[in-house]
Amino acid sequence: MFDALKNLKDKDALKNLKEKAEQVAGTHGDKISDGLEKVGEFVDGKTRGKHSDKIDTAVDKAQDLVGKLGDKDDKDAEDAKGTKDEKKS
């Protein structure tokens, strides 16, 4: 997966990386979201609450992005299944 980062100019590599991110978010989105929450709490503790609002906003935005990526993967999987079903008919 990280080999794709070496060739960011390669459009196929970027597309593959995006698809992999969507797939991981779709499969493990809840775990990623929980991890983001824990990281936010950790950082908030280390900063002694001085930046709680900014940390909460960043965590919320990251969780939203993970959710959107996961939704895209779910939709793509449904579209692919529909295409396979149409071919069988």
- Structural domain span for residue 81: 31-89
Q: For residue 49, give the DSSP letter.
A: T
Residue 12 lies in a domain: no
Is 87 among the domain residues? yes
Q: Residue 66's CB: how many other CB atoms inside 10 A?
A: 22
In a domain, 9, yes or no: no
Rounded to an integer, what distance in angstroms lies between the CA atom of residue 48 and that of residue 27?
34
What integer pLDDT is reported at residue 81 of this predicted model? 60
Per-residue confidence (pLDDT) for residue 18, from 0 to 100? 86
Domain count, the chain: 1
Please write the tens of the pLDDT for every residue from 21-33: 899 999 999 999 9
| Residue 3 in this model has a pLDDT that exceeds 70 | no
- pTM for the model: 0.67
In a domain, 42, yes or no: yes
Residue 8 lies in a domain: no
